[in-house]
Amino acid sequence: MRPSKPHHSGQKKASTIWGGRFADGPSQLMQEINASISFDKTLYRQDIAGSIAHAKMLADQNILTADDRDQIISGLQQIEKDIAAGTFTFSDQLEDIHMNIETRLVELIGDPAKRLHTARSRNDQVATDLRIWLREAIADIDSMLARLQAALLNQAEAHTETVMPGYTHLQTAQPITFGFHLMAYVQMFGRDRSRFADCSKRMNESPLGAAALAGTSHPIDRHKTAALLGFKQPMANAMDAVSARDFAVEFMSAASICSTHLSRLAEEIVIWSTDRFAFISLSDAFTTGSSIMPQKRNPDAAELIRAKPGRIMGDMVALLTVLKGLPLAYSKDMQEDKEPVFDAKKSLCISLMAMTGMIEDMTANPEAMRQALRKGHPAATDLADYLVAELNIPFRNAHHITGALVALADKKDCGLDDLSLEELQSVEPKLTGTAQAILSIDHAVAARTSYGGTAPDQVRACIAEARVQFLLLTDAT
């Protein structure tokens, strides 16, 4: 390798990149709209990995000498160290991460670097880089989702018997447990992990070696580079390989759904932490104060998570709009694919980390949850079910009888379980003291023993099952 020297990558002529076809360089405005290095430098590790795999394959196929391969790999490894250390100078004049790295490699090792681009194009390079980057991003997201699930499971396990209202239309519906409620999100985030895993499987094919769009006449081995880069196989059609971005759209679709689940949980945290509900409290770590109202504790982390889906969905729509109507194969429009993907990943990851922190941080208020069950007659359905199961009354009639008792309780400003036996029998004479026991909140919760139900024993079983299903056998996984 040649001695390292200062990296001066500026140029006034386009010929260094584009060859002899262009005599003059681009205008300043063209250079600004054309350059992508400000964001695609994010892909430097993936680009270098792809180049190293390509160099190894070219040497194995006797397209490069072993000496050229070794110099190329050594130079690329040095460049990777320089970029990681922050000592590499990126140039807008060199457009993108590929040409910035290649130009520096030429400075370091000379002619062998000029042979690296044999049998490939920036079109297959960038498609390969983005697939590797997204594959790694999905692995990161899966780990974060697993940690969030573990935090939810731990809270659910601590509150399998903490009763609270279950809501529909945000109106009191039936009594449930707090652990049961949190387990719903464990399942949601489990499906998110499954979607990301499916996305990763579909994108795990290598575009490298597709070249510009039609493959190459050089005797390359695309299966070898695919294997070196951890891909299952090379993509079967070179034109599809360079022009496909559905894998990025699929990633952002999964991210949009996941962020929506996070937003729903964030909304509940906002509601639960209000003084009207007071079901939970958050510490100073995930709340902020007011500049004017000293008593305020605002759940800003939850509110910001609640807002993130708009941004992530917008990223997905932006990419879909870029791709809509593009003819095959590559068009420069596709340079607009990376910023939305990078932004969606960043937004989702910060949301996942903040939500995990809040779930671990939150303290439940079981007394407030139980007290909330004094309103809304949450055991009404249990009474109707009792009338059907024990007194053989048709459900529609049972519904009517229970509704009349609810009206009586409302008139007396009390709960159904506060009505005397005489008052119950004034509406339905067949009722006995057993009906009063049915109206107990704890009885109503314990009675729902169907699979997936809210009975504490059932919730405990579902927690154990979830730990195995989602490989969450310890708190740290």
Number of other CB atoms surrounding residue 233 within 10 Å: 12
Cis? peptide before 329, omega within 30° of 0: yes
CA distance 151 to 445: 24
Catalytic residue selected from 169, 217, 291, 450: 169
**Best CA proximity match to 127, nearest among 228, 226, 33, 221:** 226
Backbone angles phi and psi of 163, in degrees to 5? -80, 150
Task: Look at the alpha carbons of 433, 164, 149, 191 in this order and tell me if their dihedral is positive or negative.
Answer: positive
Between the CA of residue 146 and those of 122, 149, 260, 305, what are the distances in Å? 36, 5, 17, 18
Residue 356 tokens read as: 């995990």
**The dihedral formed by the CA atoms of 217, 223, 226 and 231, expressed in degrees to the nearest 10:** 140
Q: Beta 233-234 vs 205-206: how paired, if at all?
A: parallel
Catalytic residue selected from 27, 74, 143, 290: 290
Residue 255 tokens read as: 């991210």
The contacts of residue 17 (CB under 8 Å, 6+ apart) are 11, 94, 95, 99
Residue 45 tokens read as: 């590790």
Task: Look at the alpha carbons of 401, 402, 407, 413 in this order and tell me if their dihedral is positive or negative.
Answer: positive
Q: Assess whether 169 carries a catalytic annotation.
A: yes
- Single-letter code of the amino acid located at 205: E
CA distance 292 to 402: 49
Catalytic residues: 169, 290
